[in-house]
Protein backbone atom coordinates (compact mmCIF):
# COMPACT_ATOMS: atom_id res chain seq x y z
CA UNK A 1 0.00 0.00 0.00
CA UNK A 2 2.82 2.38 0.90
CA UNK A 3 4.41 1.97 -2.58
CA UNK A 4 1.07 2.62 -4.24
CA UNK A 5 0.60 5.70 -2.11
CA UNK A 6 4.09 6.99 -2.96
CA UNK A 7 3.47 6.35 -6.65
CA UNK A 8 0.14 8.14 -6.47
CA UNK A 9 1.70 11.04 -4.56
CA UNK A 10 4.51 11.38 -7.14
CA UNK A 11 1.97 11.40 -9.93
CA UNK A 12 0.17 14.26 -8.23
CA UNK A 13 3.45 16.22 -8.20
CA UNK A 14 4.84 15.32 -11.63
CA UNK A 15 1.69 15.55 -13.75
CA UNK A 16 0.71 19.07 -12.64
CA UNK A 17 4.34 20.19 -13.10
CA UNK A 18 4.30 18.81 -16.65
CA UNK A 19 0.98 20.53 -17.31
CA UNK A 20 2.34 23.82 -15.94
CA UNK A 21 5.45 23.51 -18.15
CA UNK A 22 3.29 22.79 -21.17
CA UNK A 23 1.09 25.77 -20.40
CA UNK A 24 4.17 27.92 -19.97
CA UNK A 25 5.31 27.12 -23.51
CA UNK A 26 1.83 27.88 -24.80
CA UNK A 27 1.89 31.17 -22.91
CA UNK A 28 5.14 32.02 -24.72
CA UNK A 29 3.47 31.34 -28.07
CA UNK A 30 0.45 33.44 -27.09
CA UNK A 31 2.67 36.34 -26.01
CA UNK A 32 4.50 36.18 -29.32
CA UNK A 33 1.23 36.27 -31.24
CA UNK A 34 0.20 39.33 -29.21
CA UNK A 35 3.44 41.10 -30.06
CA UNK A 36 5.04 40.76 -26.62
CA UNK A 37 8.32 39.76 -28.24
CA UNK A 38 10.80 39.96 -25.36
CA UNK A 39 8.49 38.30 -22.84
CA UNK A 40 7.81 35.49 -25.32
CA UNK A 41 11.53 35.07 -25.97
CA UNK A 42 12.29 34.74 -22.26
CA UNK A 43 9.82 31.87 -21.97
CA UNK A 44 10.76 30.13 -25.22
CA UNK A 45 14.45 30.09 -24.24
CA UNK A 46 13.49 27.61 -21.51
CA UNK A 47 12.25 25.15 -24.16
CA UNK A 48 15.17 25.09 -26.61
CA UNK A 49 14.90 21.31 -26.83
CA UNK A 50 11.57 21.75 -28.62
CA UNK A 51 11.75 22.13 -32.38
CA UNK A 52 8.84 24.57 -32.39
CA UNK A 53 10.60 26.77 -29.83
CA UNK A 54 13.81 26.83 -31.89
CA UNK A 55 11.79 27.85 -34.96
CA UNK A 56 10.06 30.67 -33.07
CA UNK A 57 13.34 31.85 -31.53
CA UNK A 58 14.78 31.99 -35.03
CA UNK A 59 11.80 34.08 -36.12
CA UNK A 60 12.28 36.41 -33.14
CA UNK A 61 15.98 36.80 -33.97
CA UNK A 62 15.00 37.62 -37.56
CA UNK A 63 12.43 40.14 -36.34
CA UNK A 64 15.18 41.79 -34.26
CA UNK A 65 17.55 41.62 -37.27
CA UNK A 66 19.97 39.51 -35.25
CA UNK A 67 20.97 37.49 -38.31
CA UNK A 68 23.82 35.59 -36.65
CA UNK A 69 21.46 34.20 -34.01
CA UNK A 70 18.74 33.50 -36.57
CA UNK A 71 21.23 31.58 -38.73
CA UNK A 72 22.31 29.57 -35.68
CA UNK A 73 18.72 28.54 -34.89
CA UNK A 74 17.78 27.77 -38.51
CA UNK A 75 20.98 25.79 -39.12
CA UNK A 76 20.11 23.66 -36.10
CA UNK A 77 16.66 23.02 -37.57
CA UNK A 78 18.04 22.18 -41.02
CA UNK A 79 20.58 19.79 -39.49
CA UNK A 80 17.72 17.98 -37.76
CA UNK A 81 15.28 18.28 -40.69
CA UNK A 82 17.27 18.50 -43.94
CA UNK A 83 14.15 17.78 -46.01
CA UNK A 84 12.14 20.70 -44.61
CA UNK A 85 11.50 23.31 -47.30
CA UNK A 86 10.48 25.90 -44.72
CA UNK A 87 13.61 25.55 -42.59
CA UNK A 88 15.88 25.65 -45.63
CA UNK A 89 14.04 28.73 -46.86
CA UNK A 90 14.39 30.50 -43.50
CA UNK A 91 18.08 29.66 -43.32
CA UNK A 92 18.64 30.94 -46.86
CA UNK A 93 16.71 34.11 -46.07
CA UNK A 94 18.68 34.85 -42.89
CA UNK A 95 21.96 34.23 -44.72
CA UNK A 96 20.80 36.57 -47.48
CA UNK A 97 19.93 39.34 -45.04
CA UNK A 98 23.30 39.02 -43.33
CA UNK A 99 25.01 39.13 -46.72
CA UNK A 100 23.12 42.31 -47.64
CA UNK A 101 24.10 44.09 -44.44
CA UNK A 102 27.72 42.91 -44.33
CA UNK A 103 30.84 43.56 -46.36
CA UNK A 104 31.33 42.25 -49.90
CA UNK A 105 33.89 39.77 -48.59
CA UNK A 106 31.46 38.46 -45.99
CA UNK A 107 28.69 38.27 -48.58
CA UNK A 108 30.90 36.20 -50.90
CA UNK A 109 31.43 33.68 -48.08
CA UNK A 110 27.70 33.42 -47.39
CA UNK A 111 26.44 33.15 -50.98
CA UNK A 112 27.14 29.42 -51.56
CA UNK A 113 25.22 28.28 -48.46
CA UNK A 114 22.43 30.78 -49.12
CA UNK A 115 22.01 29.58 -52.71
CA UNK A 116 22.13 25.93 -51.66
CA UNK A 117 19.50 26.47 -48.95
CA UNK A 118 17.09 28.34 -51.22
CA UNK A 119 17.44 25.89 -54.11
CA UNK A 120 16.95 22.97 -51.71
CA UNK A 121 13.74 24.55 -50.41
CA UNK A 122 12.52 25.13 -53.99
CA UNK A 123 13.29 21.53 -54.96
CA UNK A 124 11.53 20.09 -51.89
CA UNK A 125 8.42 22.26 -52.28
CA UNK A 126 7.48 23.00 -55.92
CA UNK A 127 4.67 25.30 -54.72
CA UNK A 128 6.71 27.47 -52.32
CA UNK A 129 6.19 31.02 -53.60
CA UNK A 130 8.34 32.83 -51.03
CA UNK A 131 11.48 30.91 -51.83
CA UNK A 132 11.07 31.66 -55.53
CA UNK A 133 10.63 35.35 -54.76
CA UNK A 134 13.85 35.16 -52.75
CA UNK A 135 15.63 33.42 -55.63
CA UNK A 136 14.52 36.13 -58.08
CA UNK A 137 16.04 38.78 -55.81
CA UNK A 138 19.14 36.66 -55.26
CA UNK A 139 19.83 36.19 -58.98
CA UNK A 140 19.25 39.88 -59.67
CA UNK A 141 21.88 40.82 -57.08
CA UNK A 142 24.75 38.51 -57.96
CA UNK A 143 26.89 39.00 -61.11
CA UNK A 144 26.39 36.83 -64.19
CA UNK A 145 29.82 35.28 -63.69
CA UNK A 146 28.39 33.65 -60.54
CA UNK A 147 25.22 32.54 -62.32
CA UNK A 148 23.12 35.63 -61.68
CA UNK A 149 21.23 37.95 -63.98
CA UNK A 150 17.81 38.49 -65.51
CA UNK A 151 17.62 35.17 -67.39
CA UNK A 152 18.23 33.13 -64.24
CA UNK A 153 15.70 35.23 -62.29
CA UNK A 154 13.04 34.85 -65.01
CA UNK A 155 13.21 31.06 -64.70
CA UNK A 156 11.79 31.38 -61.21
CA UNK A 157 9.23 33.96 -62.37
CA UNK A 158 7.92 31.32 -64.78
CA UNK A 159 7.48 28.95 -61.86
CA UNK A 160 5.70 31.66 -59.87
CA UNK A 161 3.22 32.18 -62.71
CA UNK A 162 1.99 28.65 -62.04
CA UNK A 163 1.93 29.12 -58.25
CA UNK A 164 0.76 32.66 -57.50
CA UNK A 165 0.26 35.35 -60.15
CA UNK A 166 0.43 38.23 -57.64
CA UNK A 167 3.88 37.05 -56.60
CA UNK A 168 4.83 36.54 -60.24
CA UNK A 169 3.95 40.14 -61.17
CA UNK A 170 5.71 41.53 -58.10
CA UNK A 171 8.79 39.45 -58.93
CA UNK A 172 8.80 40.87 -62.46
CA UNK A 173 8.37 44.36 -61.02
CA UNK A 174 11.48 43.79 -58.91
CA UNK A 175 13.43 42.76 -62.00
CA UNK A 176 12.33 45.87 -63.91
CA UNK A 177 13.17 48.05 -60.91
CA UNK A 178 16.74 46.70 -60.89
CA UNK A 179 16.90 47.00 -64.69
CA UNK A 180 15.66 50.60 -64.42
CA UNK A 181 12.68 50.10 -66.71
CA UNK A 182 10.03 52.34 -65.05
CA UNK A 183 7.26 51.75 -67.61
CA UNK A 184 7.54 47.95 -67.38
CA UNK A 185 7.75 48.24 -63.58
CA UNK A 186 4.52 50.24 -63.42
CA UNK A 187 2.76 47.82 -65.77
CA UNK A 188 3.63 44.86 -63.55
CA UNK A 189 2.44 46.66 -60.42
CA UNK A 190 -0.82 47.42 -62.22
CA UNK A 191 -1.22 43.75 -63.15
CA UNK A 192 -0.45 42.69 -59.57
CA UNK A 193 -3.16 45.05 -58.30
CA UNK A 194 -5.75 43.73 -60.75
CA UNK A 195 -5.04 40.11 -59.89
CA UNK A 196 -5.08 40.85 -56.14
CA UNK A 197 -8.40 42.69 -56.44
CA UNK A 198 -9.95 39.90 -58.48
CA UNK A 199 -8.63 37.15 -56.21
CA UNK A 200 -7.72 38.44 -52.71
CA UNK A 201 -6.85 34.90 -51.60
CA UNK A 202 -3.63 35.20 -53.62
CA UNK A 203 -2.36 37.77 -51.10
CA UNK A 204 -1.15 34.92 -48.92
CA UNK A 205 1.34 36.80 -46.71
CA UNK A 206 1.05 40.08 -44.88
CA UNK A 207 4.28 41.31 -46.43
CA UNK A 208 2.56 41.25 -49.84
CA UNK A 209 0.08 43.82 -48.50
CA UNK A 210 3.02 46.07 -47.65
CA UNK A 211 4.73 45.44 -50.96
CA UNK A 212 1.65 46.28 -53.03
CA UNK A 213 0.96 49.43 -51.03
CA UNK A 214 4.58 50.56 -50.95
CA UNK A 215 5.20 50.08 -54.68
CA UNK A 216 2.02 51.93 -55.62
CA UNK A 217 2.81 54.76 -53.19
CA UNK A 218 6.32 55.20 -54.61
CA UNK A 219 4.95 55.20 -58.17
CA UNK A 220 2.03 57.46 -57.11
CA UNK A 221 -0.59 55.16 -58.64
CA UNK A 222 -3.77 53.47 -57.33
CA UNK A 223 -3.80 55.66 -54.17
CA UNK A 224 -7.05 54.38 -52.64
CA UNK A 225 -6.25 50.70 -53.14
CA UNK A 226 -2.67 51.24 -52.01
CA UNK A 227 -4.00 52.79 -48.79
CA UNK A 228 -6.16 49.71 -48.22
CA UNK A 229 -3.18 47.38 -48.58
CA UNK A 230 -1.03 49.45 -46.24
CA UNK A 231 -3.78 49.68 -43.63
CA UNK A 232 -4.26 45.91 -43.85
CA UNK A 233 -0.53 45.43 -43.33
CA UNK A 234 -0.59 47.57 -40.19
CA UNK A 235 -3.68 45.78 -38.84
CA UNK A 236 -2.12 42.35 -39.36
CA UNK A 237 1.44 43.27 -38.37
CA UNK A 238 3.25 40.62 -36.30
CA UNK A 239 6.67 39.19 -35.46
CA UNK A 240 6.68 37.54 -38.90
CA UNK A 241 6.95 40.94 -40.62
CA UNK A 242 10.33 42.62 -41.06
CA UNK A 243 9.08 46.06 -42.18
CA UNK A 244 8.07 48.27 -39.26
CA UNK A 245 4.56 49.78 -39.42
CA UNK A 246 6.43 53.11 -39.40
CA UNK A 247 7.21 52.66 -43.10
CA UNK A 248 3.58 51.79 -43.89
CA UNK A 249 2.45 54.96 -42.09
CA UNK A 250 5.06 56.99 -44.03
CA UNK A 251 3.69 55.73 -47.34
CA UNK A 252 0.13 56.39 -46.18
CA UNK A 253 1.12 59.94 -45.28
CA UNK A 254 2.58 60.44 -48.74
CA UNK A 255 -0.56 59.09 -50.40
CA UNK A 256 -2.80 61.37 -48.34
CA UNK A 257 -0.55 64.33 -49.10
CA UNK A 258 -0.77 63.57 -52.82
CA UNK A 259 -4.56 63.73 -52.41
CA UNK A 260 -4.25 67.12 -50.66
CA UNK A 261 -5.62 65.60 -47.46
CA UNK A 262 -3.38 67.47 -45.02
CA UNK A 263 -5.14 66.28 -41.87
CA UNK A 264 -4.84 62.56 -42.71
CA UNK A 265 -1.30 63.03 -44.01
CA UNK A 266 -0.25 64.68 -40.74
CA UNK A 267 -1.96 62.00 -38.66
CA UNK A 268 -0.15 59.21 -40.48
CA UNK A 269 3.26 60.89 -40.42
CA UNK A 270 2.94 61.38 -36.67
CA UNK A 271 2.10 57.70 -36.30
CA UNK A 272 5.21 56.88 -38.36
CA UNK A 273 7.34 58.96 -35.99
CA UNK A 274 5.72 57.36 -32.95
CA UNK A 275 6.77 53.93 -34.21
CA UNK A 276 10.31 54.96 -35.17
CA UNK A 277 11.84 57.82 -33.21
CA UNK A 278 14.93 58.29 -35.42
CA UNK A 279 13.32 58.53 -38.84
CA UNK A 280 14.84 61.28 -41.05
CA UNK A 281 12.61 60.39 -44.01
CA UNK A 282 9.49 60.89 -41.93
CA UNK A 283 10.82 64.13 -40.40
CA UNK A 284 11.43 65.50 -43.88
CA UNK A 285 7.96 64.40 -45.02
CA UNK A 286 6.36 66.04 -41.98
CA UNK A 287 7.99 69.37 -42.82
CA UNK A 288 6.64 69.08 -46.36
CA UNK A 289 3.14 68.28 -45.08
CA UNK A 290 3.17 71.20 -42.64
CA UNK A 291 3.91 73.52 -45.56
CA UNK A 292 0.86 72.34 -47.52
The answer, yes or no, to whether residue 21 has pLDDT greater than 90, is: no
The answer, yes or no, to whether residue 4 has pLDDT greater than 60, is: no
Mean pLDDT of the chain: 90
Residue closest to 50 by CA, chosen among 83, 76, 14, 19: 76
What is the percentage of the chain residues whose pLDDT exceeds 70?
A: 91
pTM, 2 dp: 0.85
Q: How far apart are CA 278 and CA 275, in angstroms?
A: 9
Given this model, what pLDDT does residue 276 score? 87
pLDDT digits (tens, 9 = 90+) for 156-195: 999 999 999 999 999 999 999 999 999 999 999 999 999 9
The answer, yes or no, to whether residue 3 has pLDDT greater than 60, is: no
Domain limits, the chain: 205-292
Other beta carbons within 10 Å of 231:
16
The DSSP result for the chain, as a single string, is -HHHHHHHHHHHHHHHHHHHHHHHHHHHHHHHHTT-HHHHHHHHGGGTTSHHHHHHHHHHHHHTT-HHHHHHHHHHHHHH-TT-HHHHHHHHHHHHHHHHHS-HHHHHHHHHHHHHHHHHHHHH-TT-HHHHHHHHHHHHHS-GGGT-SHHHHHHHHHHHHHH-HHHHHHHHHHHHHHTT-HHHHHHHHHHHHHHHHH-GGG--SHHHHHHHHHHHHHHT--HHHHHHHHHHHHHT--TT--S-HHHHHHHHHHHHHHTT-HHHHHHHHHHHHHH-SS-HHHHHHHHHHHT-
pLDDT digits (tens, 9 = 90+) for 204-260: 999 999 999 999 999 999 999 999 999 999 999 999 998 999 999 999 999 999 999
Give 121's pLDDT tier (boundaries 50, 70, 90).
very high
Given this model, what pLDDT does residue 20 score? 43
Computed on alpha carbons and rounded to an integer, the radius of gyration of the chain in Å comes to 23
Mean pLDDT (whole number) for 195-205 = 95
Given this model, what pLDDT does residue 14 score? 43
Lowest-confidence segment of 4-18, 124-138, 189-203 by average pLDDT: 4-18
Mean pLDDT (whole number) for 60-67 = 94
Q: How far apart are CA 182 and CA 193, in angstroms?
A: 17
Q: Which CATH architecture has domain 205-292?
A: Alpha Horseshoe (1.25)
Given this model, what pLDDT does residue 23 score? 60
Amino acid sequence: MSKLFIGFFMALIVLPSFAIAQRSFEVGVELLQKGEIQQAKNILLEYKEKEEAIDLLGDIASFNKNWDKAIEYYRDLVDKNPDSAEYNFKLGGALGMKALEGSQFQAALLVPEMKRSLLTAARIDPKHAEVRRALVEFYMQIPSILGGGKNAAMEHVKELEEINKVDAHLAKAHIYKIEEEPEALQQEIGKAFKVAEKNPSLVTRNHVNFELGERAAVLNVYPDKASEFLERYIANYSYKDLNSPAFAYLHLARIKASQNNREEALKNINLALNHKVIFPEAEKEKMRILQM
